[in-house]
Structure 1
Amino acid sequence: MSAAVPVFATTAGYRAAVAELPMGARQTEAARGAVVVVPGEGQWWTALLEAEANGAVAAVVGNPQRVPAEAVATLRGLLSIPVVVERPFARQDDVAAAASARAGSPATLVTIECAAAPGGLASPLRDGLRWATTLAGGPLERIGSGGGMALLKATPPSGHLPVTVLTTRWSQEAAAPMLRVAALGEVRSVVESDAAGQGVRFTTASADGSTTSAVRYEGSARLALRRALEAVAAACPLPDLTELLEDQEILAELLPEHKQG
């Protein structure tokens, strides 16, 4: 039996996640040789670089809120340790399951609808862009935008397809963010945020019928930590940080106020 990996986490949610994984993780108070959990507030990108410099073997970024141009420029290509990014609206297990459910059927149109209180639009929309990239099967490129609407282009192996984006800023500060992503074609995939604004459910409809995603009982923090432990065991890189930076670059074109954070 392999020894439990030390985890340096200061937030209650991740300390609880460590306790829920007793066979694979144990709490420590030092970064060296540990998986370091970096809260996604403030200048988390600086803390991420510091974690690597202090000897972390992997890192988890917990639900990053701001990804300014400084973070994109600082992080691209610099880190050599595996980094898991916790994205509650775009959990890795949900995104992978939704893509698998399409069974390779190409989309013909993808739409993103996102609404949130002022200042809260960036995070769910950024996650919506990750869903659109995955369901479209290729990277996104902005074509035009204005008045809360935008047109993107996806470039999957099968050819170009349009991706439309509709954003709304609610006046209520306490309103939970709303996210809805739909991929149309012979197979129809619909991703929708739940009523509490935490996580999503998705449905897949085809000629064979319709299925709805299972309820996820594993919290997003526990999932992120478990993926980090698996990456350490396998000594393999992860795409999370690269994907976050790619999504942020598109987001900055859609919401210019987020070019500098």
Structure 2
Amino acid sequence: MTRRAPDPARTLALLWGAHRHEGRSGLSVRTIVSAAIEIADAEGLEAAVMRRVADHLGVGTMSLYTHVPGKAELTALMADTVLGTLYATAAPSAAGDWRAGLRMIARENWALHERHPWLLAATDGRGELGPNVLRKYELELAPLDGIGLTDVEMDSTLTMVLVYVEGVWRTRHSLRRAQEHSGQTDAEWWQSTGPILERVMSGGEARFPLGGRVGTAAGQEHNAMIDPVHALEFGLDRIIDGISALIAR
């Protein structure tokens, strides 16, 4: 089902606090968004509908619409709110140098997705330009400023890191759901599947010599088809190598 697009003017006004007030029931945009985040963290984004949020707060559903016009605007507010929890204690520019800054950005965003698995589903690629979206962008650009990159290269470098983190995290999330459905950890799945695969592929070494060799080595190393944490660190190292080469040129 396609999610209704939020009204840009109303959403931006809500994001930037133009309608901050508390109703007679004690409701406010903040309390509604906090309740919706609690529901989404526990049950997923689809569960955080207006009626569930109202039940969670012990109020009538219609009372929510005085503060938030609908699920689309609520989702935008939820995403901006959780982005505001990034870098609460230290900014990437304080990590030491640009390499350490990029590593901090990657790991902090990874941890954010771990805390709020619904976040990627809450954005459509454009995102709403709320205060925390812009704060995040400002803080994450800082380690790259003044190291020899153009402004466009700075933006592209940050985008590359964030897109890579999101892609690997999606793989981790898919594996986690597979574990929940199967009741098997990755290691247990590999231990049960590996011998079967070896039998059905009897003679497969001749047909797929490279894939057989490399796949076996990787499976034995990770005790699974893929280790997302290893993939994150390996890919981040290669990204940093590439940016170092770009700066040197």
Same fold (TM over 0.5): no
TM-score by length of 1: 0.26
Point out the structure with the larger strand share: 1
**Larger relative contact order (CA 8 Å, sep ≥ 6):** 1
Name the structure with the higher helix share: 2
